[in-house]
Amino acid sequence: MKKIIIILILTLTNFAFGQNNLSEKVSESFNTDNRDKLDSIAKQLNYKGGDQIKVLTIFTINEQGNVVDIKARSVHPLFEKEAIRILNELPKMTPAEYNGKKISQKYSLPIVFEIETDSAKKKRLKKEKKERQRELKKEKN
């Protein structure tokens, strides 16, 4: 019983303090090409703009800080595959520690894909076009 409580406290403490930017890192791994791909898949499955698809993931951060043993569950295998791909692209993490020794730690992280509305997609594309133009101007100078 003590071991279970220690592991639970370790998990909550490590998730709250040690890996607090995990969600940010996951968001950074999701790029425009993937968004368009998932939007087209979602529309084939009759989802509309603004709908959300939740993918429940479980993975381990091992003693070296690598994300391993990723499992995902969702409404469609393509969303599961995308969530796994995103987690595989995460950089090395800080592994959990117990009594000063690095240990493997399991984490659970829900990933929510939101289908873009047409107006949001237009805004995003317009913004990306402006950013590309700014980059081109910088390269010329």
pLDDT the model gives residue 4: 37
**pLDDT given for residue 72 in this prediction:** 96
pLDDT for the residue 22 = 58
pLDDT at residue 58 in the model: 96
Give the per-residue pLDDT at 12. 38
Q: What local confidence, expressed as pLDDT, does residue 125 receive?
A: 87
- Per the CB < 8 A criterion, the answer to whether 29 and 70 are in contact is no
Structural domains in the chain (count): 1
**What rounded mean pLDDT belongs to the chain?**
78
Beta pairing, strands 96-98 & 101-103? antiparallel
Residue in 62, 60, 55, 52 with CA at minimum distance from that of residue 115:
52
**Which residue range forms the structural domain that includes residue 136?**
2-140
Q: What is the pLDDT of residue 49?
A: 81
- Give the pLDDT score at 137: 84
pTM above 0.85, yes or no: no
Burial of 104 (0-12, 13-18, 19+ CB in 10 A): middle
Which parts of the chain register pLDDT below 70? Answer: 1-34, 141
Measured at the CA of 78, the angle between CA 126 and CA 124, to 5 degrees, comes to: 10
Instruction: Return the pLDDT at 13.
Output: 38
